[in-house]
Structure 1
Amino acid sequence: YLLKDITKWIPKYIVDKGYEYYEDGHVEDVEIQDKKVFAFVTGNAGNYEVVIDLEDFSESNCECPYENY
Structure 2
Amino acid sequence: MIRTLLVPDNQDVSIQLPKSFVGKQVEVIAFTINDANDDSLAQDKPLTHYASQNALAKEWLTADEDEAWKNI
TM-score, reference length from structure 2: 0.21
TM-score, normalised by the number of residues in structure 1: 0.22
Larger helix share, 1 or 2: 2
Q: Larger Cα Rg: Structure 1 or Structure 2?
A: 2
Larger RCO: 1 or 2 (CA < 8 Å, sep 6+):
1
- Greater percentage in strand: 1
